[in-house]
């Protein structure tokens, strides 16, 4: 498998990153990567997360691969240093930074951008006391700040920042904070191997946590960390689909994220980790990687791919047959069912008729189904557009909830806790309006600036966590019948209020930065159920049966 696929994908993003950058040395925003701020002038503060883009540029400067026009270009080096200094200049007095609203003091943006700045500074051998002073203050803030919500990848990022900076500055002052944060990361790992991300298991962010922990383990070997990585890698392997794609809407945060660098580092002492990257590379060859080329999230994968290229392990283990049978992750509430024999991407599957089902038991039965290494269908459960009190609203069956689940050898049923019915929830479709933005600005410029974590917690509850039930009910059953999955849905609703009904392949209803990206598997038509709904009597249930 060619490691240059990682470099090719990453280097293709560098021109856009340079377009996002203010490259004018005489500009007051020289080094700013937030084009909406410095160029379009449509926002009133720069996103601190955007300064993370210095690391892809630094790595592009250092990546000696054919057809890399950015390799050893002095101006790239100059722009990286300008980006680091702008990160310092645009920070608050305590060196924290904002991402989505003023005085947010976002841990994620602060950690991602600090990691990028430290790594770029070290890689390019820069010598700038102002930058080092900024690193020191930002690290102090991260060491003592605790955000709301359980996002293990943020905690791992912070530990990695503190470790790298401790090495760069030759100090031990953050050792206690490192130990405490690392303990938190380990305590947030499920016995099944996954790390907590808000409401459960997200295999995509899981690979970012692996990437950070693998680097930390390289810097500071620890037996507990090694054991955690082994469990995490074994878990990640199960979410690599037979076509080389990874993750999706059946996970807690709906992401297709895949960060390969950690698997190369772990692969030096655990060769089976390299098979995961080899499978993903087969997907890259078929253009199955999701598109992350928007202004806000383009950076993460770009630098991680380039690091995977740099640290690529030459000696790869031979492919092995994919596992068969059932994996029921009861804590994650995800079930993976592999029928008959299957093989890793690239292996010969002569004569087999392999079927793989990836099913979210806690999201009403959202699933992906593969047959003979090809995606057959992606199903994000029933969605209704309804009229309520003069407003058009959306209720969906894919929000995380505590459903009653029955699993036998050939039958899986998902229903509600109080009887046969599971309740649909109202989709989270809150949009910003001029009034909402004005209120948020006033709050953050006055009392909110002193309580950013409280504001963040309220927004998380509004946009991400929690479910408001609707007066609509469903039950989903999957049965294995004569070599096929038979999916039966039953829906009970007040049909007079229903405008349209259907099932989409990639519908999600919570706010997650890295979700709702395009991936080729989403080229599936919307299944329109409206004609069927129109035929129903007021108290009649909709029943739908499909075979795959």
Q: What SS3 string covers 157-215?
A: HHHHHHHHHHHHHCCCCCHHHHHHHHHHHHHCECCCCCEEECCEECHHHHHHHHHHHHH
85 pLDDT band (50/70/90 cuts)? Answer: very high
Within 209-317, strands assigned E span none
Residue 95 or 342, more confident:
95
Q: Residue 340 has what pLDDT?
A: 82
User: Is 253 in contact with 198 (CB distance < 8 Å)?
Assistant: yes
Of the ranges 91-95, 193-197, 199-203, which one carries the lowest mean pLDDT score? 199-203
What integer is the mean pLDDT of 90-114? 95
Q: How confident is the model at residue 305 (pLDDT cuts 50, 70, 90)?
A: very high
Residues 6+ apart with CB under 8 A from 232: 189, 193, 194, 195, 206, 209, 210, 213
Say which residue, 153 or 148, is predicted with more confidence.
153
What per-residue confidence (pLDDT) applies to 161? 98
Question: Torsion-angle region of residue 356: left (phi > 0), alpha (psi -120 to 50) or beta?
Answer: beta
The answer to which of 7-11, 196-200, 334-338 has the lowest mean pLDDT is: 196-200
The answer, yes or no, to whether residue 408 has pLDDT greater than 60, is: yes
In this predicted structure, the answer to whether residue 344 has a pLDDT above a threshold of 50 is no
pLDDT of residue 430: 77
* Closest by CA position to 158, among listed 84, 201, 108: 108
What topology does CATH give the domain 4-310?
Glycosyltransferase (1.50.10)
CA torsion 255-4-350-355 (nearest 10°) is 0
Average pLDDT over residues 179-198: 96
Mean pLDDT to the nearest integer, 279-300: 94
| CA within 13 Å, CB half, 156 | 28
* pLDDT bracket for residue 456 (50, 70, 90): confident
* CA neighbor of 206 nearest in space, from 161, 246, 265: 246
Distance CA 253, CA 271 (A): 29
Considering the chain, what percentage of its residues have pLDDT values greater than 70?
A: 95
In the prediction, which pLDDT does 198 show?
Answer: 81
217 vs 344, higher pLDDT = 217
Cα 529 to its chain centre, rounded Å, is: 30
Whether the predicted pLDDT of 300 surpasses 90: yes
Q: Which residues contact 482 (CB under 8 A, 6 or more apart)?
A: none
* The predicted structure's pLDDT at residue 395: 94
Mean pLDDT computed over 264-269: 98
Q: Is the pLDDT of residue 363 over 70?
A: yes
* Burial class for 351, CB neighbours closer than 10 Å (0-12, 13-18, 19+): exposed
CB 529 within 8 A of CB 503: yes
pLDDT of residue 349: 47
Q: What's residue 343's pLDDT?
A: 46
Q: Which pLDDT does position 143 carry in this prediction?
A: 97
Name residues whose C-beta falls within 8 Å of residue 398's C-beta, 6 or more positions apart in sequence: 249, 360, 363, 364, 366, 380, 381, 383, 507, 508, 509
Is the Cβ–Cβ distance between 138 and 110 less than 8 Å?
Answer: yes
Give the residue from 269, 266, 261 showing the smallest Cα distance to 308. 261
> In this model, does residue 352 exceed pLDDT 70?
no
Whether residue 249 contacts residue 378, with contact meaning beta carbons closer than 8 Å, is answered with yes
Give 156's contacts (C-beta < 8 A, 6+ positions apart): 185, 195, 208, 209, 212, 213, 216
Q: Write out pLDDT tens, residues 464-521.
A: 776 788 888 999 999 999 999 999 999 988 888 999 999 999 999 888 889 999 999 9
Residue 207: the pLDDT is 98
Confidence at residue 65, expressed as pLDDT on a 0 to 100 scale: 95
The pLDDT-based confidence of 451 (bands split at 50, 70, 90) is confident
Rounded distance, CA 367 to CA 360, Å? 6
- CA gap 345, 1 in Å, rounded: 11
CB distance 371 to 355 below 8 Å: yes
For residues 187-205, give the mean pLDDT: 94
pLDDT digits (tens, 9 = 90+) for 47-78: 999 999 999 999 999 999 999 999 999 999 99
Q: Domain spans of the chain?
A: 4-310, 375-428+464-547
Sign of CA dihedral 411, 417, 423, 426: negative
* pLDDT score of 419 more than 70: no
Work out the mean pLDDT of the chain and round it to a whole number.
93
Instruction: Find the mean pLDDT for residues 103-112.
Output: 95
């Amino acid at each position: 498998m060619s490691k240059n696929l990682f470099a090719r994908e990453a280097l293709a993003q560098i021109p856009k990153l340079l377009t996002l950058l203010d490259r004018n040395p005489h500009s007051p925003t020289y080094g700013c990567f937030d084009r909406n701020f410095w160029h379009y002038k449509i926002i009133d503060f720069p996103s601190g997360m955007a300064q993370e883009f210095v690391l892809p540029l630094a790595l592009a400067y250092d990546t000696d691969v054919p057809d890399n026009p950015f390799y050893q270009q002095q101006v790239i080096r100059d722009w990286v240093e300008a980006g680091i200094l702008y990160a310092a200049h645009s920070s608050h007095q305590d060196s924290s930074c904002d991402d989505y609203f003023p005085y947010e003091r976002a841990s994620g943006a602060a950690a991602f951008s600090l990691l990028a700045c430290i790594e770029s500074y070290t890689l390019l051998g820069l010598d700038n006391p102002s930058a080092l002073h900024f690193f020191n203050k930002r690290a102090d803030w991260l060491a003592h700040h605790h955000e709301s919500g359980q996002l293990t990848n943020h905690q791992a990022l912070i530990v990695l920042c503190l470790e790298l900076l401790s090495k760069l500055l030759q100090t031990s002052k953050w050792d206690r904070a490192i130990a405490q944060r690392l303990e938190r990361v380990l305590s947030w790992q499920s016995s099944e191997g996954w790390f907590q991300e808000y409401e459960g298991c997200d295999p995509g962010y899981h690979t970012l946590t692996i990437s950070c922990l693998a680097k930390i383990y390289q810097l500071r070997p620890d037996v507990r960390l090694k054991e955690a990585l082994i469990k995490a890698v074994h878990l990640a392997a199960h979410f690599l689909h037979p076509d080389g794609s990874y993750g999706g809407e059946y996970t807690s945060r709906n992401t297709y994220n895949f960060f390969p660098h950690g698997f190369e580092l772990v692969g030096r002492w655990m060769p089976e980790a390299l098979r995961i990257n080899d499978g993903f590379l087969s997907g890259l060859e078929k253009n199955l990687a999701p598109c992350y080329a928007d202004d806000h999230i383009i950076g993460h994968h770009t630098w991680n791919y380039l690091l995977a290229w740099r640290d690529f392990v030459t000696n790869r283990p031979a492919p092995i047959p994919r596992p068969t049978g059932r994996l029921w992750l009861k804590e994650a509430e995800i079930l993976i069912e592999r029928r008959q024999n299957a093989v890793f991407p690239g292996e010969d599957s002569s004569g087999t008729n392999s079927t793989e089902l990836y099913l979210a038991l806690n999201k009403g039965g959202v699933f992906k189904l593969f047959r003979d290494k090809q995606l057959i269908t992606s199903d994000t459960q029933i969605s209704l557009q309804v009229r309520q009190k003069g407003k058009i609203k959306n209720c969906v069956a894919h929000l995380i909830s505590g459903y009653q689940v029955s699993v036998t050898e050939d039958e899986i049923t998902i229903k509600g806790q109080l009887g046969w019915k599971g309740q649909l929830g109202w989709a989270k479709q809150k949009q910003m309006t001029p009034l909402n933005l004005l209120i948020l600005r006033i709050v953050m410029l006055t009392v909110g600036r002193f309580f950013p974590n409280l504001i963040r917690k309220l927004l998380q509850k509004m946009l991400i966590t929690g479910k408001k039930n609707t007066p609509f009910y469903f039950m989903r059953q999957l049965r294995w019948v004569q070599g096929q999955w038979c999916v039966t849905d039953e829906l009970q609703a007040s049909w007079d209020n229903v405008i349209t009904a259907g099932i989409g392949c990639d519908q999600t209803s919570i706010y997650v930065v890295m979700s709702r990206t395009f991936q080729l598997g989403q080229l599936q038509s919307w299944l329109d159920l409206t004609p069927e709904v129109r035929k129903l009597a007021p108290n009649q249930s909709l029943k739908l049966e499909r075979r795959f």
